[in-house]
Amino acid sequence: MSTLHVAPNKKHDVIVIGAGTGGAAVAARLARARPDLDIAIVDPSPFHYYQPAWTLVGGGQYAIGRTRRATSQVVPAGVAYLEDSVTAFLPETNAVLLGSGEQLNYDFLVVAAGIQLNWKAIEGLPETLGKNGVSSNYRYDLAPYTWECVQGMQGGVAIFTQPAGAIKCAGAPQKALYLAADALKKRKVKVDLRFHTAAPALFGVPFYSQALDKVIALYGAQANLGSNLVSVDGPAKTAVFESVVNGSKVRETVSFDFLHVVPPQSAPDFIQNSSLADATGWLDVDKLTLQHVRYTNIFGIGDCTSTPNSKTAAAIKSQAPVVAGNLLLALKGREAAAHYDGYAACPLTTSAGKVLLAEFCYGGTVSPTLGLDPRVPRRFYWWLKKSFFPAFYWHILIRGRNWASLHKKRDFPEQLPEIRA
Ligand code: FAD
């Protein structure tokens, strides 16, 4: 059923698909710049989530209720809000189909539908999530269970996993490990800690990955690179991992007391199955202008696009002015001129109290906001993560307000600085 919260209209100047981080931020910018525009935002979820704090919830450092608001509260004033899902694109006729069966027409379309979490891709996982010591910070209802499990541990084996392929906030699987390791260390409980990642390194940017090798070693946790979780047996408390040894796939069954799972992720099915997708299913946009490569009246933002940046809310901070700016130019019949530099940031919570703030642009160019060596976990960055970023998110980013971007390429000595988690 579609709920129309503002005046009904079958045709809008701009339709925004998704009222998450990217959709809310762009709609707010457009509504501020051009209050005369008829903008509609479509999203089936009654709630908007501040997902970056779920890591803190899983580490016992944040109240889950503070991470959720009604979607109607984040839709900008004057923007029509339809509580419905887009099921198909009709780009040749500038229309989208909704779950309700309705068709909506647009002059311009912004696709901000986020990333799809494929829980079922791991055999046995859906039926054991939230019980048998199996949790995930990637869901609102499960993040508190992560902390419950960590608090209850008196020993045994705790495993943290990261799947193959692109995921949102690629540092988050590790953040769960470090916050658990820190809490256990403070309680003086000895647990066999293991990190299994399908990736060949702890982080995609070698500059930061080398520092994280040090952090994981400081906790005495075992890093299993190239190791992919394929199935879970909750009641038996066993997990099966697949890796490639001498060119052949090898499977190993491991017992656990606690298992933190990050599911494989992909572009949402309705994008993958459309003519708007690239060969790998993502919304096919130009990585600089964020304009669709075939349909110039369509733009994309956030986790659902093909841009080769790290999928984060921090990236959306840099993308939102580009999408809004280029769409406003397009409304005047002008070519896209604003460019996104690939900026992303990942605040790696190395303990409850310190963060290593990894900031980088396209190509892994190290681009911190401050001149401090970003490989050093710092208390100031913890304050940013826990207090400043949430306030920035709710009051600046998704409200479409301007904020100066001060990040830039900076050089640091090759040698690792002293790192204490
Ligand atoms: P979302 O905010 O997920 O919004 C997508 C919206 O689209 C949703 O509201 C959804 O309901 C809607 N939608 C889906 N399908 C349809 C459809 N068919 N029709 C209409 N609407 C639809 N980022 C950081 O910057 N720093 C961090 O520290 C950080 N940590 C994270 C930790 C965790 C555990 C997680 C899960 C994420 C983290 N992120 C972090 C990532 C960040 O939250 C996301 O990158 C960001 O929210 C993506 O915004 P988005 O608009 O692309 O997608």
pLDDT tens track for 169-204: 999 999 999 999 999 999 999 999 999 999 999 999
pLDDT greater than 50 at residue 4: no
| Domain at 21, CATH number | 3.50.50.60
| Nearest-atom index, ligand 1, CA of 42 | 20
| pTM recorded for the entire structure | 0.97
Look at residues 310, 331, 352 and tell me which one is the last residue of a structural domain: 331
pLDDT for res 10:
84
* Cα 323 to middle of ligand 1, angstroms: 17
Determine contact, residues 115/266, Cβ cutoff 8 Å: yes
For ligand 1, whether the C-beta of 316 sits within 6 Å is: yes
Are 127 and 256 contained in the same domain? yes
Same domain, 170 and 294: no
Q: Looking at 7-11, 107-111, 322-326, 371-375, which range is the least confident one? A: 7-11
Range of lowest pLDDT (2-6, 42-46, 216-220, 257-261): 2-6
- For residue 211, tell me if it sits in a domain: yes
CA 344 to ligand 1: nearest atom: 25
Q: For a pLDDT cut of 70, what percent of the chain falls above it?
A: 98
Q: Is-catalytic flag, 169?
A: yes
Q: For 19-69, how does the pLDDT look when each residue is reduced to its tens digit (9 = 90+)? A: 999 999 999 999 999 999 999 999 999 999 999 999 999 999 999 999 999
Look at residues 331, 352, 380 and tell me which one is the last residue of a structural domain.
331
Q: What is the pLDDT of residue 9?
A: 53
Least confident residue range of 7-21, 281-295, 384-398:
7-21
Q: What percent of the chain has pLDDT over 90?
A: 98
- CA–CA separation, 228 vs 218, rounded Å? 24
Q: What is the pLDDT of residues 66-101, one digit of tens each?
A: 999 999 999 999 999 999 999 999 999 999 999 999
For residue 8, what pLDDT is reported?
47
Q: Name the band, by pLDDT with cuts 50, 70 and 90, for residue 361.
A: very high
Average pLDDT rounded to a whole number, residues 266-271: 98
pLDDT digits (tens, 9 = 90+) for 248-264: 999 999 999 999 999 99
Q: Is the CB of 172 under 6 A from ligand 1?
A: yes
Residue ranges making up the domain that contains 73? 11-116+267-331
Does the structure show a pLDDT above 80 at 2? no
* Residue 18 alpha carbon to ligand 1 centre in Å: 9
| Same-domain pairing of 180 and 228 | yes
260 plus 121 within the same structural domain: yes
- Alpha helical stretches, state H, 187-283: 206-218, 269-272
Q: Say yes or no: 302 and 167 in one domain.
A: no
Q: In this structure, are 232 and 195 located in the same domain?
A: yes
What spacing in Å lies between the alpha carbon of 303 and ligand 1's midpoint? 7
- The model's pLDDT over 331-345, given as tens digits with 9 standing for 90+, comes to 999 999 999 999 999
Indicate the top mutation candidate among 61, 266, 312 to test ligand 1's pocket, ranked by most ligand atoms within 8 A of CB. 312
Does 359 reside within a domain? no
Judge if the beta carbon of residue 139 lies within 6 A of ligand 1. Answer: no
For residue 86, the ligand 1 atom closest to its alpha carbon is: 19
Contact 226, 76 (CB under 8 A): no
Question: Are 181 and 318 contained in the same domain?
Answer: no
Residue to mutate (ligand 1; options 15, 51, 64, 208; most atoms within 8 A of CB): 51
CA distance 295 to 285: 9
Which one from 149, 304, 346, 361 is the annotated catalytic residue?
Answer: 346
In short, whether 342's Cβ falls inside 6 Å of ligand 1 is no
Alpha carbons 89 and 97: distance in angstroms, whole number: 6
Known active-site residue 346: yes
Residue 6 reports pLDDT greater than 50: no
Residue type, 124: G
Query: Are 281 and 310 in the same domain?
Result: yes
pLDDT tens track for 136-174: 999 999 999 999 999 999 999 999 999 999 999 999 999
Beta bridge partners of 294: none
Angle 374-362-209 (CA atoms, 0-180°, nearest 5)? 40
Are residues 205 and 174 part of one domain?
Answer: yes
- Residue 299: pLDDT band (50, 70, 90) is very high
For residues 361 and 342, is the Cβ–Cβ distance under 8 A?
Answer: yes
